[in-house]
Each structure stands twice: as C-alpha cells, then as structure tokens.
Structure 1
Amino acid sequence: MTMLTRITSLHTGRARDRWEGRPPSAIGKEAVAGPLMLGLEGLAGDEQADRTVHGGPEKALHHYPADHYAAWADAWPEHAVTFCAGGFGENVSTTGLTEADICLGDRLRLGAALVEICQGRQPCWKLSAHTGIGEMAARLQKSGRTGWYYRVIEPGEVAVGDAVALTERRHPDWPLSRVIAARFDSRLDPAVAAAIAALPELSESWRKSFLKKTDPAFVEDTGARLSGA
C-alpha cells in the first residue's frame, strides 16, 4: 500500500432550490470534519437532487484536486472566492494528487473505506450556475481537470486527515487524464474507444458513451448538458 496524500477536507450538501425556474441541486456543499460513514452510495448526510445523472453506486463520491483551483482563479480572478476546496461541489478535497497521478480502476484506501476509480466527472450546466460563470462547465470539460468518481468496494468511516493510499493498480497504461481526454475527444480513434470500453472497472454510463464512439459516424451532442437548454 502506497500513501498518496491525505484528505484535507470533506464536503456534504442537501438538495435545495437554487435558481428560479430550474431544478433543485445539492452542488452547494459544506465542510465537515468527520468522521463520516462512507456507504455504497456516498457519505452520510450527502444528497443528490437528480438521481438519474448524479449519485448512485458508480458516482458515490466525487474527488476534486484543490491543486487546480489556482489556475481557475487566474482565469477568473473576479470569482477567486469560489475557487477553494468544495467550490465545485466535490465531496473529497486533497492536494498533491491529480488526474495524471492515478489510473482508471485504481483501488484506494480512504480512511477505513476501500474505493475504486471508475470515471471522471462529466460537468453540466449546474456547475456554471453555481459558480456564476456561464462557460464554466464547458471550460472544465475542455481542460480535463474534472476530478473523478469512486465506487465504494468496502464501506467505512472517513475523516479529515485520513490517508489516501493506493492498494492496487490494474491498468497502468490508462491514467485517468488519458481516459478523461478520450471521453471528450470528438475525433477519438474508434479502436481507442473500444479499448477503454473493455476496461471492466469503467462505470456503465461511460462504457455506453465509449461504445458509441466506436462508430466512426457517431457525433455526440453535449449542448443540452453543458447549457441546460
């Protein structure tokens, strides 16, 4: 087991109405020290407003590197107060660990829990509404700095200060940064799409997306997701 970093903050939130004429959201999170129980569908006290696209066993926990916030603050200094741990609705915040340092299918110990990396984040219009930056979701997607989701293999308690430790790496040729870039590549080689779709640890929703990309004629429309239109 190799220690990678430590949890610097944990965040949970309740679904509530945020924007007039729009569905409710639980993207607004508050910091909690823990310990909190991490179950198969997430942290105790955390909610997801729309379970068709958020939450569930394959999006049980969202991890976002606080390392990225400095670049976002440089891009939009007038919104710098937004760019801090928990600012994008993540559950787990750390420093010193990014998408380039981990691989799809990695198993990690977070405190007493065992989790597995199964996909990157697929940003939607709620991130733009939450930050007040109209192009935020699209920019996050294009940057590849999306953070990632875990499925929970063994439930357990987690708390601020707990170690994040790698216990198993099954796919060293598939760093998460590469998988995320492929997911949002409109001209992805169908053979690469097929190879990623075959990875058993990949979430089912991303597997379906990559299987579509094995068709050279397929064109993905991300407009509705990113804009909320």
Structure 2
Amino acid sequence: MKVISVNIGEKRTINYKGKIIETGIFKSPVETPIFLGEEDVVNDAVIDRRYHGGMNKAVYAYSKNHYAYWKEIYPELDWKFGMFGENLTISDLDETEIHIGNQYKLGDAIIEVTQPREPCFKLGLVFKTQKILKQFWNSTMCGIYFKVLQTGNVSVNDGLILIKNCENAPTIAEVYETKK
C-alpha cells in the first residue's frame, strides 16, 4: 500500500435546499507533503468537528482501487483524487483486511486505524445526487479514519508500513456492517 495522492480542501459555502451550509469535503490533490497533526491535517478545512477531525478522525484515507467501481456508476463526473473527501488516496487499501487498532508508519507519521467513515449528505454534494449515500452504505468501500500517534509529513509514494497488527480485532468492513 502506498500513497497515490495527498489532498486538502478549503472551506466552501453552498446553498443546499435553500439552506446555507459550510463544508470542507471538496478536496483536491496537492503537490507538496501534507502534515498530519494530532486532530486534523494542517491547512485542511474541517468544518463540523462533531463528525470530522479530532483525535479519532484526524485523517481520512480512501482506496485508489475503489475509484474504478464508482467511475462506472458516475462516468459524467470530473474525476480526481480527493472526491470522497479523503486526505490520503492509497493504493490497495482494503477495508476487509485492515483491523481496528492496526498501526502504520506513513512518511514521518505513525497512525492507528480507528473507524470506518459514515457518509453524510455532503458526499451527495460532490456526486450531485444523494443516491450515492445508499450506494456507499451498501458497499464495504467506506474508507478508514486514523488517529495520529506521531505527527509528521506524508508525501505521494510514501508506503503504509504495518508496525502493529491487531488481527483479533474486527476489520473496518465488519465494523461498518454493524452501523448499517
């Protein structure tokens, strides 16, 4: 597993069904390393800290491998990494094989798997339809939230190196299934 893209977003204000909302879900790839802080990625907009950021959701990763599946369903979109609001797009990231509590060395940082992502209506803003929410829930392609145990820079091509395996803990996909 290695980092294919590092992504950050700025705060956007959007009119959604007559209500003004703020979001940081619209992320784009950046050429420079990103810094994983204790509660978020530095310079990445985190708007609603009840659901994003914080110790257990400091960084969100999504698998590059999942993109092909979604592109078939939504070919009309302008596809780029960061579409799912992820800070890290990682090759071969598989929720059915990664366990809660696993720890990884990634660039200068050490991160720990905490939980799957639960989609909200803001993902529908990116995909221009709220149908994506049910489709997302009906898959195991939820992505992974990490806690940052050691802050540091992460760059494209950095490898995700397993340093602690919690194989007796549930996988991200197993936890995600219980939340449906």
User: Which band: TM-score by shorter chain?
Assistant: over 0.9
Matches within 5 A, 1:32-43: 32-43=30-41
Read off the aligned partner of 1:59 and give its amino acid letter.
K
The answer as to 2:28 corresponding to 1:27 is: no
**2:100 and 2:169 in contact (8 A); partners too:** no
Unaligned regions of 5+ residues in structure 2, if any? none
Read off the aligned partner of 2:109 and give its amino acid letter.
A
Counterpart pick for 1:129 among 112, 125, 128: 125
Distance (whole Å) between structure 2 residues aligned to residue 38 and residue 173 of structure 1:
25
Distance (whole Å) between structure 2 residues aligned to residue 160 and residue 151 of structure 1:
20
| Secondary structure, aligned partner of 1:22 | strand
- By how many angstroms is 1:13 displaced? 0.9
Of Structure 1 and Structure 2, which has the larger fraction of its residues in strand?
Answer: 2
User: CA offsets, 1:18-51, max 9 Å, x none?
Assistant: 2352311011112113322211012211121111
**1:6 and 1:162 in contact (8 A); partners too:** yes
User: CA offsets, 1:105-144, max 9 Å, x none?
Assistant: 1101110100101000010000001210221122111212
The answer as to 2:164 corresponding to 1:181 is: no
Aligned to 1:115: 111
Q: Please, what is the CA RMSD of the aligned residues?
A: 1.5
Aligned to 2:48: 50
Aligned to 1:97: 93
Count residues with an aligned counterpart.
178
The answer as to 2:4 corresponding to 1:11 is: no
Distance (whole Å) between structure 1 residues aligned to residue 153 and residue 169 of structure 2:
31
**2:96 and 2:140 in contact (8 A); partners too:** no
Of Structure 1 and Structure 2, which has the larger fraction of its residues in helix?
Answer: 1
Counterpart pick for 1:78 among 76, 79, 84: 76
Aligned to 2:137: 141
Q: TM-score, normalised by structure 1?
A: 0.73
Q: Which has the larger radius of gyration?
A: 1
Read off the aligned partner of 1:55 and give its amino acid letter.
G
Which structure 1 residue ranges, 4+ long, deviate > 3 Å from structure 2?
Answer: none
Relative contact order higher in (CA < 8 Å, ≥ 6 apart)? 2
Distance (whole Å) between structure 1 residues aligned to residue 5 and residue 114 of structure 2:
21
